[in-house]
Every structure is written in C-alpha cells, then in structure tokens.
Amino acid sequence: MNGWYGKILRVNLTNSTTSVETVDPQFAKDYIGGRGWAIKCLMDGMDPKADALSPENLLIFAAGPLTGSPAPTGNRYMVVTKSPLTGVLTNSNSGGDFPTWMKRTGFDMFIFEGRAERPVYLWINNDQVEIRSAEHIWGKQVPETTDALLAETDGKAKVACIGPAGERLVKAAAIMNDKDRAAARSGVGAVMGSKNLKAVVCQGTHQIGMADRPGMKKLSQSMNQEVGHDSKTSVLRIYGTPYVPDVTNELGILPTRNFQTGRFEGVEKINGPALNESFLIRPGACFRCPIVCNRITKVDAPGYEGEGEGPEYESIGALGSACGVDNLAAITKANYLCNEYGMDTITAGMTIACAMEMCEAGIIPEEEIGYPLKFGDADGMIEFVKKMALREGFGDKLAEGSYALAESYGRPEFSISAKKLEFPGYDPRGAKGMGLLYATSNIGASHMSGDLAYAEVFGTPEKIDPLTIENKPELIKRFEDAFTLIDASGLCVFLAVRYVFDKDVNLWPTRLTELMNLTTGADYTPATLMQAAERVFNLERLFLLEAGVTKADDTLPKRMLEEPLTEGPAAGQVVELDEMLPRFYQVRGWDENGVPTPEKLAELGISA
C-alpha cells in the first residue's frame, strides 16, 4: 500500500500485550485514515454506552495517509475516543513534530484498550514495541516527563504524554506532544490517565510509499508556495492567531465575561501586536509547515515568569476576555500552566469564567470557594487553573467542566457549551453559521469541526453575512465534510484558508483528490472522496445516537437562543436555531429527529 502502511498496533494494557493488525485496502480507501479509520474501529470495538473512564473505552491515536508526506501541513494526527467531559464521541487534533514521528514507526494507528495495573508508557522504535513502567515519572509535569523519556529512550524521538491533570482524571485534561502542542479538547487526557498510560514515545525510519513520488513532490512544492505566500496566511506568520481578538471584538463576538457580551474594553492589551511587543521570541512552525503560525514566547514579569508556546487566540479568549482579564502576562502564564499540567485552555478558561459569573450572581457562595472569585481577577484565574489541574479544593468541582459545575447548582444555563463542550472564541449570536456548527458538530461546540468563521468573520474568500441564516445549513454541511476530510487525511485546518474557502467550491475536493491519488494511488474522484467524508460523519452520528444523544442535544445555551447581544453590529441578535436545524437535517439526509435515513446509510455503504 502507498500512503498507508496498512498496519494497526493494538495495545492491550490490561494484559501488557501488543499485536499488529493488517488493514484491508478497501477499508483504507472507504474511511481515508485518521478520524475516519478511528471512528470505524471505535464503532466496531466498543459499546458507545460504555463509561468513558472505564477499561472498555478505546483510546485511538490515528495518522492519515498524508501525515508525514510532502503535502503542505501534512503533519497532524487525531486522538479519538469517548469523551468523559461530554459523554459522547470526541476527536481531538494535534500537530507539532510527533505526528510525523508516529507515522515513521511504520504504523498508521495505535489502539489502546483496557487499563494497566500500574503506570506505563509505550516505546515504539520501528518494529520494536515495548510497554515500560512509568511509575518513576507519574506525577511529573509535561516538560519533565518529556525530558526524562527522551533521556531513557532516544534523544531524537518524540513524546506524547499526559501531565498531572490527566493523571487526576480532570475532564479538561489534554494529551500534550512536543511539550507545547495539544490534542486538547473533551478530556482525552483523562481517558489516557484512566488507562494508567503516561506517554507514547515514537522513533522510526520507515518511508511512506508514494504512488507517484515525483508528481507528489511537484504538486506539494506548488501548494507550499501558494499557501506560504498567500495574503490570508501571512498575517498568521506575523501575529499568529492572536491577531483575531481585534477582528472578533470589532464584530461584537469576542467572548467576554462568560459570553455575557461580545466586546471587551481591554482588547488592545491582549491582541497580537501586544503579544509581539511584550513577549514574542520568534515565530514557530509544526514540522515542515509553510504557514508558521506558532508563537514562541517568554514572560519575565514578576509572578508570571515562564517560556513556551502561545497563547493562541482561543486561549486568549477563554483565559482572557471570557474571564474579564486584560493582563497579557497573566494570560500567557495561565497558558503555560495548562501546557505543563496538560489541560485544554478553552475548557479551563470557560469553566473558570462560568464560576466567576455564578459567584458574582450569588449562586456559588464565596465561603464555599474560600476566595472572592470575580471577573477581572488575573491572579485568581491563575490560581484556579492550578487548583483545577490538581483537583484541590473548589478546583475539584472545576475539574468536572462548566456544565457539570453549573448543573450541580441547578443552573446549567450558565455553562456556555453545546453537548457539554465549552464554546470556542466566536459568539454565534453574531456569526449564526457558527451557532449551527456548535449545535450539530459530532463532538459539541468545536470550531475545528467546520469553521465557517473564516467566511462569516474574516471574509475568506469573500464575506458571507454573519447575521443571516439563509444557506447556512448547506454551508455548514459542506464545511463539516471538508473538515472531516482534513482530519482523516492528516492535514491542518489552516490549509482551509487557501483551498476550502476559495470561491471555486470545487477547488478543495479537486486539490485533495490530487494529493490523495498521487500518494495512495487509490483512484479517488472528488465525488468519491466527498462521499467518504460523509460516510465518516454519518458513522460518527450513529455512535452519538447509540450513546444516547437525541435531537434535544442538538442545541445551544439559553443565552444564545433568547438573550440578544446588546452592542456592536450584532446588537439585538440571537441564534434562530429552530429555523436552521430542520433544513440541516434535510441536507444531511437525516429524518426530522436527526437520525440518518436508511436511504442515506445505503448510499454511503453503512450497515444499519
């Protein structure tokens, strides 16, 4: 096989055994790789109703056929499992260096099942696979863990691991690779911790087969030039994603004080220019990426010292404006702490923001927390990031996520989440396609599932009216499918800036078909590739339905549906979800209850 090795490494942690499974070429083609292979294996290998933190849950690391290839941004992997935060499916994505090193081991996917009796880590060096004790590094933070494992394996290897948050089963726990990159969302790190799996260390020398290596090299070089010099991606090279707060604030959709409003008076203190001026060391990039969107930063301000990557826009929104904090040194410090403890900055920040609002409303008594937690308290925000990661005091409640926190006081509406996953940095009352996306994404409120904000917010390739609901169901379906292909093939969503959102709607499937065929030789057409994306998305929906999700879960918080924004271009707006959702079901080929019809499943070759 080309592109794919056709090999899956299965690791039974209960029995401390490993085995290798071969992949049927038709399966490989039908489910693409990455997110696609993983959902098929998850659906076949576990009961969707199983407890996410039980040994019965599977934890899957999955690379795509373009992971480690010359394709621009071809350096992503997926972590797919049942989420302990939401109780349903999650697929969490990460870049850095680790995905290519994972692929070089000669495996396309790792499946972890069961639970080790004591802490372990997995060491893979080509065909050498070992389950080793991790008792000596249990309790260590991510940087210490990474350094220790490189010292005892191979200094040129790459590490994905959990920190103390994952060990303590914090529902916001991430899996960190290369110290600062995160498969962050939905508590995947808690699943890894529940299995007593501290880390995965990869080294390998396997070359990915190419159906047409010269052709792939030529096309990739051309696309790298297009992506690397595109006017829309150059701002990422200059400021990274922290350029975004200015844009969302102007539109009135920057998450502010737990999404009570969409404009933050301190935005100029926490934006890209402020980060560059105060803390930037240099831009950084994932392995061989032409976009160079990372920020390598250092803070010397007393009390906030640290060095690492970030913060990204989503971290600034969640730990900054959503908490009413305009101290960029504090936001950056909190970002470093999340990386060190191994925790999702979005869920961490939005859960603290939820607690701040409930405290100010008198719902959570100050004496219960032992601290006057209020919006704008930078040091309090940092302190509760630590307490959340370690489950100390009130941090034990925060560690369950915003929905469980708010529900425990009988006020779930204070959690700004969909399917219990906290919102990213776009208020959907002023970007209504994003509202439909949050409600229908298979993992909950994730911009990474089909980011229409590119068009609604940034005008890429041309501005789509963010306040209209016309054609939004059709657009969301198209973008969800496009992002499914990105996740399955092993690419980064920032490639979407150049191709998915081009005025020529056929450009993306055509380009990806070229990349996939030059790599795999699988003779995809744009139509069969897009059908494969639909197959993956619909199989995910079936997993959700079997896990207990119903139409009632395809919704948004009361605030988004009933409480209009009060300022900015979107003043007076709410999300008319009830008007968009039935049409979305129709264009998906689902019935009025959001269930894929037998005809749709037959069309996609999925057994009911």
Q: Mean pLDDT, to the nearest integer, of 510-539?
A: 96
Query: Is the domain of 276 the same as that of 172?
Result: no
For the cut 80, the answer to whether the pLDDT of residue 543 exceeds it is: yes
> Which of 421, 440, 457 marks a domain boundary?
421
> What's the pLDDT score for residue 230?
59
Distance between CA 185 and CA 62 in Å, rounded? 16
In this prediction the pTM is 0.97
316 residue type, one letter: I
Phi/psi of residue 186, each to 5°?
75, 15
Residue 578 belongs to a domain: yes
CA angle 178, 95, 258 (to 5 degrees): 95
Q: Which pLDDT band, with edges at 50, 70 and 90, does 7 fall under?
A: very high
Query: Is the domain of 286 the same as that of 337?
Result: yes
> What's the pLDDT score for residue 608?
64
Residue 81 belongs to a domain: yes
pLDDT, one tens digit per residue, over 66-104 is 999 999 999 999 999 999 999 999 999 999 999 999 999
Query: Is the domain of 182 the same as that of 324?
Result: no
For the cut 60, the answer to whether the pLDDT of residue 232 exceeds it is: no
Residue 216 belongs to a domain: no
DSSP per-residue string spanning 560-582: HHHS---SSTTTT----HHHHHH
Supply the CATH number for residue 277's domain: 1.10.569.10
Query: Is the domain of 179 the same as that of 283?
Result: no
Please count the structural domains in the chain.
Answer: 3
> Which of 421, 456, 490 marks a domain boundary?
421
Residue 219 belongs to a domain: no
CB 320 within 8 A of CB 331: yes
> What's the pLDDT score for residue 507?
81
Structure tokens at 88: 């349903």
Query: Is the domain of 568 the same as that of 598?
Result: yes
For the cut 60, the answer to whether the pLDDT of residue 153 exceeds it is: yes
Query: Is the domain of 292 the same as that of 395?
Result: yes
Residue 448 belongs to a domain: yes
pLDDT, one tens digit per residue, over 202-230 is 999 999 999 999 999 999 999 888 776 65
What separation in angstroms does the CA of 174 have from each of 71, 84, 184, 264, 606? 27, 12, 4, 28, 32
Q: Mean pLDDT, to the nearest integer, of 546-567?
A: 97
> What's the pLDDT score for residue 500?
74
Q: Which pLDDT band, with edges at 50, 70 and 90, does 19 fall under?
A: very high
> Which of 375, 396, 421 marks a domain boundary?
421
Query: Is the domain of 331 the same as that of 476?
Result: no
Phi/psi of residue 418, each to 5°?
-130, 130
Q: Which pLDDT band, with edges at 50, 70 and 90, does 494 fall under?
A: confident
> What's the pLDDT score for residue 582?
98
Q: What is the percentage of the chain residues whose pLDDT exceeds 90?
A: 90
Residue 77 belongs to a domain: yes
Residue 141 belongs to a domain: yes
For the cut 50, the answer to whether the pLDDT of residue 252 exceeds it is: yes
Q: At what angle do helices 34-45 and 472-489 cross, to 10 degrees?
A: 90
For the cut 90, the answer to whether the pLDDT of residue 455 exceeds it is: no
> What's the pLDDT score for residue 461?
65
Q: By residue range, what is the domain housing residue 309?
A: 240-421
> What's the pLDDT score for residue 115?
98
Q: Which pLDDT band, with edges at 50, 70 and 90, does 234 fall under?
A: confident
Q: Mean pLDDT, to the nearest integer, of 373-388?
A: 98
Residue 208 belongs to a domain: no
For the cut 60, the answer to whether the pLDDT of residue 233 exceeds it is: no
Query: Is the domain of 496 the same as that of 376?
Result: no
Query: Is the domain of 413 the same as that of 441?
Result: no
Supply the CATH number for residue 147's domain: 3.60.9.10
CB 160 within 8 A of CB 96: no
> What's the pLDDT score for residue 231?
44
Query: Is the domain of 246 the same as that of 179?
Result: no
CA angle 578, 346, 278 (to 5 degrees): 130
Query: Is the domain of 404 the same as that of 256?
Result: yes
Q: Mean pLDDT, to the nearest integer, of 387-405?
A: 98
Query: Is the domain of 401 the same as that of 445?
Result: no
Supply the CATH number for residue 523's domain: 1.10.599.10
Q: Mean pLDDT, to the nearest integer, of 369-373?
A: 94
Parallel, antiparallel or unpaired: strands 421-422 and 417-418: antiparallel
